Amino acid sequence: MNWNDVIIAGAVAAILGGVLQALNKKGKIGRTPAIIIFLVVILGGNFLYEGVIKPRLAGDVQTQEIDQMLSALPIYSTIKAQEPALYSQIRSNILRLKKEGKTQQEAIDTVKPMVSDLLSRRMNTAPDVNVIAAMKVSLEEMQALQARNDGSCFKFLYPQINGGVNTAQVLSPELFKKDLDTMNALLLASGSGQTAQPTVVSGEKIKVLMVPVRQALQDKYGDKLQMFNDLGAEDVDRAQVCDISITLYTGILALPMQDSAAILRLMLGKQG
């Protein structure tokens, strides 16, 4: 019980005690019944408050905090409007994790894969300009994380292998906001009522487009590319993997927009 609870309980006890004392003086109630009523009301009220009312109030406050946090991020407002079922699932998961003792940021990090999955699916239908913009920001993030020289770049690229990274903490506020805004723009451009359509490029042409990109990687890194066959192996040079990944995406983004977007959809898009 905190000090606010103590003060409230004291005030209630004083008021109840005063009422019972007045009734006793007027002969409306005996001393012993008054004491019994006082104890029953105070103890019962405390039990009711601590066991039922207080937890419910705390839950309401926590729910309001989560709703305010989500509404403050445009990407979640967009998901709420476009994918209400997914938004409800995200919200429910965050609330559950908070009740389990997770911090708000830990809860958000846990539902990030749900957002990433949506973005991967939207990548297939988003206009070329939004796909390119999203990849350019991701490349900026890779470069910023690689410059930290602490393994965060590898975690960012392959969270399924060594855990993810809290980009809100390790990226500059400007770059973090840029990432959220770009992802939100991709969702807005690929939702219902979409106007601009992606350029259709055949699978055969994409294979042809990838030839010089792959050859450039082969010429620069040679046998080191074999690390990608088993990124979880102990002898993998994770910093080198990030360098190779940065070189790969830089090469793809150097292509004409429609070609670059087509390759990125094939690599990063997800069906379903």
Average model confidence (pLDDT) across the chain? 82
Overall average pLDDT of the 2-17 stretch? 50
The string of pLDDT tens digits covering residues 149-188 is 999 999 999 988 877 788 888 999 999 999 999 999 999 9
Higher pLDDT, 164 or 80: 80
* pLDDT tens digits, one per residue of 107-155: 777 788 888 899 999 999 999 999 999 999 999 999 999 999 999 999 9
Start-to-end Cα distance in the chain: 50
Instruction: Identify the pLDDT of residue 20.
Output: 44
Total-model pTM: 0.74
